[in-house]
Amino acid sequence: MKTLETKDYIVFLVYFLIIAAYGFWVYRRKKTANASSKDYFLAEGSLTWWAIGASLIASNISAEQFIGMSGSGFKLGLAIATYEWMAAATLMIVAIFFIPVYLKNKIYTMPQFLNQRYNSTVSMIMAVFWLLLYVVVNLTSILYLGALAINSISGISLNLCMFALAIFAVVITLGGMKVIGYTDVIQVFFLILGGLVTTYLALNMVATHYGTSGVLNGFSFLTEKAGEHFHMVFKKDNPNYMDLPGLTVLIGGMWIVNLNYWGCNQYITQRALGADLKTARSGILFAAFLKMLMPVIVVLPGIAAYLLYREGAFQTEMLQGGEVNPDRAYPVLLNLLPAGLKGLSFAALTAAVVASLAGKANSIATIFTLDIYKKVININANEKKLVWIGKATVIIAMLLAIVIAPNLGIDKKGGFQYIQEYTGFVSPGIFAMFILGFFWKRTTSNAALFATIGGFALSVFFKLLPTFADLSFLASTGFSKDNGTGVFEIPFLDRMGFVFIICVVSMYIISMIESRKTEVVEEWVEDEEIPVYADDIIAAETTTARKVKKAKGLEVDTSMFKTSPGFAVGALIICGLLVALYTVFW
């Protein structure tokens, strides 16, 4: 039944008041008369480790996880959890290798990194690209899918849901990263509590269906009766192999998906860029532990709905347009919750959507203000002006999302797999540009430009390749599979892997060709341990007298990657859990 009762509205109102009151208290308590732009956008030095970790998860988990990943659980099974569990492993790599580089070099935005490492052309191209991606794709998707999910639970008008979510998110975002970070802690509490309630209901329903009760019995029946839904690595004959192609989820494209998302994404890394290294690493470790828990909340309910549907339940509720729509699994379960608990789950879903909207809007404002407005439009803007521009950007971006979202056909395209595949058109090139920029000092700006533009072009090429070439010869290797119409397509995760390798090799060749023209000069800037190269040297008229400017590059040394004993223990626990889970559910 698509309605909320009085108890549900009371629970939701309590959630709203707690968030609003706490956010206002944080804003008043931490407000300074002359807050800088970095303080507003990054909450520089203000977020604790638990606030950073909670904010990372709150920003990451949204409607596409609750609705889309539960739908994938219904269709694919536990294998879809690889996105969550491999993310936990990825977060360890980001904490150890990526974050120290950002913090040591005082990187506050991803375009700033590209400008400092490469040049302003690469930086500006990517700044504009990220703005378009965040506004037209991400912000609109989160807003529309969130409103659609809330509409399916409450029966409230879709347009009203969109406006309400947008207003709620804007109120939080205007308080800056401090308010976002600390309110995300409460958002995550509601998100996890409400999610666990739904999982409890789903597992208990399974147990009840087989004449018993309790979540453990429900889980036991789930693994027994739907055993085919508890394999993490698909074989080539699995009908869902195209979505998750075998070992690629462990040693292939899944790493590119996660490393690009968690390590090269303004939306995510922004949470840690205002902290010191120890705090940032502790926050990321906390986020990794929360990531381990997420499949319990977003995947198990989908598998439970699958088993119950197969046993004769939800026969009409799961249909859309006469066909089964897996993305309806989570809303169907929520509509079965009793009054009060339904309000709690409703609050959890709202918390996930609002936190993601707020985080995305803040990232849009940060990139536009610091990387475009400050550098191109008004280079003399003071700190107060920059903060004002940031707030105005938040409002404009949200209004654009409200106008654009209904016209993109997101509900028809939707689903977690779709979002992942089409994000994958740009991920390989961007990740190649970042990873070589981090750890190979010879990488040139032209090589980075190739990865940016060429990576996207290659992704499109591999996507269209099956339409004019027979790829059946790759079927035996698992790198192609019949899509049901006689056309052999390359699984999108493998496609990402191919594009990444080509980008890295091409960047290496381009950089080596250019480096031969400019011989490396092994000198060091006085009082700064930064290597200087020949193209950074301004020669005087005589060969003996010359001036040196600061090298175009990053300050990187191996001591940056050392971790504390506490972090090392936490990381080992994460790795141990992952090995155990993949061993049990292989």
- Stronger pLDDT, 484 or 375, i.e. the higher one: 375
Tens-digit pLDDT profile for residues 181-199? 677 777 778 778 878 888 9
Our CA dihedral for 415, 13, 183, 95, rounded to 10 degrees, sits at -30
- Give residue 484's pLDDT: 74
Return d(Cα 362, Cα 106) in angstroms, integer.
Answer: 19
- Tell me the H-state helices in 440-584: 445-449, 455-464, 492-517, 565-584
- Give residue 343's pLDDT: 81
Q: How far is CA 324 from CA 66, 76, 118, 534, in A?
A: 18, 14, 49, 63
Tens-digit pLDDT profile for residues 315-324? 777 776 677 7
- Give residue 520's pLDDT: 44
Our CA dihedral for 198, 199, 200, 206, rounded to 10 degrees, sits at 110
* Cβ-based neighbours of 175, under 8 Å, separated by 6 or more: 23, 24, 26, 27
- pLDDT(21) > 90: no
Whether residue 504 lies inside any domain: the answer is: no
Tens-digit pLDDT profile for residues 193-232? 878 888 988 899 889 888 888 888 989 999 988 888 999 9
Whether residue 413 lies inside any domain: the answer is: yes
- Give residue 540's pLDDT: 36
- Give residue 503's pLDDT: 94
- Print the domain residue range for 76: 6-24+35-423
Return d(Cα 548, Cα 65) in angstroms, integer.
Answer: 51
Average pLDDT over residues 258-286: 83
Whether residue 429 lies inside any domain: the answer is: no
- Phi-psi region for residue 511, left (φ > 0), alpha (ψ -120 to 50) or beta? alpha
- Give residue 552's pLDDT: 54
Report percent pLDDT > 70 for the chain. Answer: 86
Q: Domain of 322: which CATH number? A: 1.20.1730.10
Return d(Cα 41, Cα 319) in angstroms, integer.
Answer: 44
Whether residue 338 lies inside any domain: the answer is: yes
Return d(Cα 180, Cα 23) in angstroms, integer.
Answer: 8
- Give residue 65's pLDDT: 76
Tens-digit pLDDT profile for residues 76-88? 889 999 989 999 9
Match 């106008």 to its residue by tokens.
403
> Partners of 323 in the beta sheet?
320
Tens-digit pLDDT profile for residues 510-527? 999 887 766 544 443 444
Tens-digit pLDDT profile for residues 526-584? 444 444 433 443 333 333 333 333 335 677 777 888 889 999 999 999 999 999 999 99
Q: How far is CA 393 from CA 135, 397, 419, in A?
A: 11, 6, 25
- The candidate with the shortest Cα–Cα distance to 345, out of 198, 205, 199, is 198
Residue-by-residue DSSP string for 89-151: HHHHHIIIIIHHHHHHTT--SHHHHHHHHT-HHHHHHHHHHHHHIIIIIIIHHHHHHHHHHHH
Q: How far is CA 456 from CA 238, 252, 414, in A?
A: 29, 18, 22
Whether residue 475 lies inside any domain: the answer is: no
Average pLDDT over residues 239-268: 84
Compute the mean pLDDT over every residue in the chain, rounded to the nearest whole number: 80
- Give residue 44's pLDDT: 55
Distance of CA 158 to the CA centre of its chain: 25
**Cα Rg of the chain (Å, integer):** 25
Return d(Cα 490, Cα 421) in angstroms, integer.
Answer: 12
- Give residue 582's pLDDT: 92
Return d(Cα 359, Cα 210) in angstroms, integer.
Answer: 43
Check if the beta carbon of residue 507 is closer than 8 Å to that of residue 447: yes
- Tell me the H-state helices in 311-382: 329-334, 341-366
Beta pairing, strands 481-482 & 323-324: unpaired
- The candidate with the shortest Cα–Cα distance to 63, out of 259, 261, 348, is 348
CB atoms under 10 Å from CB of 199, counted, come to 22
Largest CA distance in the chain: 92
Whether residue 546 lies inside any domain: the answer is: no
- Give residue 553's pLDDT: 64
Lowest mean pLDDT among 229-233, 249-253, 344-348, 400-404: 344-348
Residue 536, SS3 per DSSP: helix
Check if the beta carbon of residue 391 is closer than 8 Å to that of residue 174: yes
Whether residue 149 lies inside any domain: the answer is: yes
Whether residue 30 lies inside any domain: the answer is: no
- pLDDT(249) > 70: yes
CB atoms under 10 Å from CB of 469, counted, come to 9
- pLDDT(500) > 90: yes
| Tokens matching residue 472 | 């059946």
Residue 552, SS3 per DSSP: coil
The string over 531-540, giving b where at least 16 C-beta atoms fall within 10 Å of a residue's C-beta and e elsewhere, is bbbeebbeee
The 8 Å CB, 24+ separation contacts for 579-583 are 581/85, 581/232, 582/85, 582/232, 582/233, 582/250
Residue-by-residue DSSP string for 33-83: TT--HHHHHH-TTT--HHHHHHHHHHHH-SHIIIIIIHHHHHHT-GGGGHH
Lowest mean pLDDT among 94-98, 267-271, 546-550: 546-550
- Stronger pLDDT, 464 or 23, i.e. the higher one: 464
Return d(Cα 191, Cα 353) in angstroms, integer.
Answer: 10
Q: How many domains does the chain have?
A: 1
- Give residue 346's pLDDT: 79
Confidence of residue 45 (pLDDT cuts 50, 70, 90): low
Return d(Cα 372, Cα 201) in angstroms, integer.
Answer: 49
> Partners of 189 in the beta sheet?
none
Check if the beta carbon of residue 176 is closer than 8 Å to that of residue 383: no
**Helix, strand, coil in percent for the chain, rounding step 5:** 70, 5, 25
- Stronger pLDDT, 444 or 418, i.e. the higher one: 444
